[in-house]
A and B are shown apart, each in its own frame.
Chain A
């Protein structure tokens, strides 16, 4: 980041994202106002609908689970200087992995088939990320373009598999047969009921804990292991990494495979946790929410979890809002998502430089306070040294 001006660390970590996200929400409010919805009322409904009841909270956390998985996937790739737009396709293929295990391992007890299903989701997601990663690492194919192409290939492949292969004969819906009950990840209310707490019926299931565990694991991996150090080095400067004896090609492939595996977590939550069968388009754009979440969380697992929670609120509260205010459809969430990506992602430098100018009087030389996404992300050509 050649032009990074000094900014105190706290301002960089807290103030910059806060300002940019606040601007995004302000702009979202303006859009709501423009289509004739009272933004304040909408905000009240949104918060009330997502946090006001046990049921709302359950749904919020269930959505957040998906976003933590895809957000971590995008964030981990960011650290290696890679832009993974393909979380959507990787999650979709993860569903195929889960479904194959769950449908064919019917006789196995839950404690065997569920871990196997999770493993298969991660493996299939990783495999779908592996090809673009290898092409980037060995042949210099731009990973942004290839992952976009792989998203579309995933959607045509899955449409084919669901309609022509996995659909039970005579069934009209393009979906697989239902999984045996042993392959379903226990729901939150079942677990809570076991310890004597009555909880409302929501799609929230134990995948949420898996997502949180993944967040911790990503933190340990990136900041506390040798591989993480290599990933960050390649992300900041692949040429320097080579001098340090690190192979950027190996790191690229590894980071992308792990990223794809994380994206596969969406399948665990949706397919094994809630639907109990493989469906068309079950990922419903959650892979792209991951981009917003990773940018908003500044690539840090804690930030990703917090941003996921906020987006979970948006999805659940937005659904409630759409109920009362027919004009404020759930498409507004996509608008806010786009605004967050625009302000917290594309215009992030503008906010940082603006703040830096304000802080300039009080800065010390050398205090760059840089923590965010490496500037090299999605640099074109993608030539690895």
Chain B
């Protein structure tokens, strides 16, 4: 029993850690797409943020400077996407695909030119250059207490500040989106931009704001990968997480709280796949880890097909808005 609780606490903690980048990226996609800007470039923005954050944290020795650089880099890409989608009225899918390619190429090419380690950034060895785990008061003292102890020590306490920020970003997003004037306007922009325009609100302004918020959130996601979870940047370290976040967004039907639940679920699947690697289940043989890894994608397609509820994207998503003249 004791062991089972401790093991459960560990796997849940590892699920939580794996879902943090998904939560940030999924919320980024949510902000962007609810305003009518499709964003398949989450992956790319996370990747540049991860690279910039690791490079800046290495140069400055400060994780916070790393975070600032990560956000700045992600913002540049977000604004490029915004410019193409809003100003140039270009195809948002094409622009997003371009963002992903650019990020993959640039981080590897620049990383190799700067550090000459095959695209890697130097290992972040200084404690201050990474976001360390925060121990909550009494975590160590309570560790011995049955059931509550391990859950408190491993699951509630003992994560870095970005993890708690990710969890805080969900209610914040829900509040701003559903309880403020800005949120209402943003959602309306994604459904019926002409109506927003008629009301005298700038569709352009709202959409740029949404793109910027998405950029900032992707900056957090990327920074978490290279400066929180790992100690440095590796080429292609996002490894499709941006697309999992996109899948989570669809799965959550573009809503904040279900986004959190889906990201936690997908994080749990990831943790389970890692844990089950190579284990043999009696009667079944070795667990096909690939099946668990593919589950988020399969679930999303099944949902999109309308077999478990219906996922309807914001109505004006992907359509450039042209103000009538």
B128 within 8 A of A: no
Cβ-closest 8 pairs across A and B: A334-B105, A338-B101, A338-B102, A335-B105, A346-B95, A331-B108, A35-B113, A342-B98
A337 at the interface (CB under 8 A from B): yes
> Distance (Å) between the CB of A252 and the closest chain B CB?
15
Question: What are 27 A-to-B residue pairs whose CB atoms are below 8 Å?
Answer: A83-B93, A85-B97, A135-B304, A139-B304, A141-B304, A145-B300, A149-B243, A149-B300, A149-B301, A156-B293, A160-B290, A329-B108, A331-B108, A332-B105, A334-B104, A335-B102, A335-B105, A337-B101, A338-B106, A346-B84, A346-B85, A346-B95, A346-B98, A347-B88, A349-B89, A380-B313, A381-B313
Bound: A363/B294 CA distance, A: 54
User: What is the CB-to-nearest-CB distance from A367 to chain B, in angstroms, rounded to a whole number?
Assistant: 21
Which residue among A144, A145, A337 has the maximum number of chain B CB atoms within 10 Å of its CB? A145
Bound complex: CA A2 to CA B103 (Å): 32
- In the bound complex, residues from chain B placing their C-beta under 8 Å from that of A9 are none
**B288 lies within 8 A of chain A by Cβ:** yes
Summarize A's interface: helix, strand, loop or mixed. helix
Say yes or no: is B171 at the interface (Cβ < 8 Å to chain A). no
Inter-subunit contact A335/B106 (CB<8 Å): yes
With contact pairs A36-B113, A331-B108, A379-B318 given, residues A345 and B300 touching in the complex (Cβ less than 8 Å)? no
Binary interface profile of A, 358-385, with partner B (CB < 8 Å = 1, else 0)? 0000000000000001000111110000
Residues 76-98 of chain B: 1 if any A CB is under 8 Å from the residue's CB, otherwise 0? Answer: 00001000110111111111011
Q: Which residues of B sit under 8 angstroms from A292, Cβ to Cβ?
A: 101
Residues of B contacting A164 in the complex (Cβ-Cβ under 8 angstroms): 288
A339, CB-defined interface residue at 8 Å: yes
B119 touches A (CB below 8 Å)? yes
Interface centre among B92, B112, B322 (most CB of A within 10 A): B112
Report how far A357 CA is from B306 CA in the complex, Å.
45
Mostly, the B contact residues are helix
Chain B interface residues toward A at CB < 8 A: 38, 40, 80, 84-85, 87-95, 97-106, 108-110, 112-114, 116, 119, 235, 240, 243, 246-247, 250, 288, 290-291, 293-294, 297-298, 300-301, 304-306, 312-319, 322
Total interface residues in chain A, CB < 8 Å = 59
A347 touches B84 (CB 8 A): yes
Which of B40, B88, B99, B298 contacts A153, CB < 8 Å?
A: B298
- The reply on A31 being an interface residue by CB < 8 A is yes
Contact A346:B113 (CB < 8 A) given known A135-B301, A335-B105, A338-B105: no
Contact residues in A for B113 (Cβ distance below 8 Å): 35-37, 327, 329
A380–B322 CA distance with the chains assembled, in angstroms: 17
Which residues of chain B are within 8 angstroms of A144 by Cβ–Cβ distance?
A: 38, 40, 93
Q: How many A-B residue pairs have CB under 8 A?
A: 182
Expressed in whole angstroms, the Cα–Cα distance for A373 and B298 within the complex equals: 30
The residue that A334 contacts in the complex, of B80, B89, B92, B108, with Cβ under 8 A, is B108
Q: With contacts A144-B38, A156-B294 known, what are 17 further pairs, Cβ within 8 A? A: A37-B113, A145-B250, A148-B243, A149-B300, A153-B297, A153-B301, A291-B97, A327-B112, A327-B113, A329-B108, A331-B105, A331-B106, A332-B109, A334-B104, A334-B108, A341-B94, A380-B314
In the complex, residue of chain A having the shortest beta-carbon distance to the beta carbon of B317: A380
**Residues on the B chain within 8 Å of A140, using CB:** 306
CA A339 to CA B100, docked complex, whole Å: 11
Decide yes or no: A3 and B304 within 8 Å by CB, A85-B97, A153-B297, A160-B291 being known contacts. no
The answer to the question of A142 belonging to the interface, with a C-beta cut-off of 8 Å to chain B, is yes
Contact between chains at B112 and A345 (CB < 8 Å): no
Closest to B101 in A: A338
B304 to chain A, nearest CB (A): 4
Question: How far in angstroms is the closest Cβ of chain A from B288?
Answer: 6
Q: Which residue from chain A places its CB closest to the CB of B294 in the assembled complex? A: A156
Q: Which of A145, A156, A346 contacts B91 (CB 8 A)?
A: A346
Residues from 42 to 90 in A contacting B, C-beta threshold 8 Å: 83, 85
A26 at the B interface (CB under 8 A): no
Contact residue among B95, B109, B298, B301 (Cβ-Cβ distance under 8 Å from A345): B95
Q: Is the CB of B109 within 8 A of A350?
A: no
With A3-B89, A135-B305 already in contact, the answer to whether A380 and B293 are too (CB < 8 A) is no
A348 at the interface (CB under 8 A from B): yes
| Cα–Cα distance between A346 and B96 once the two chains are bound (Å) | 9
* A157 at interface, CB cutoff 8 A: yes
Q: Is A179 an interface residue (CB 8 A)?
A: no
Complex-state Cα separation, A256 to B89, whole angstroms: 26
Chain A, range 1-55, C-beta contacts under 8 Å to B: 2-3, 31, 35-37
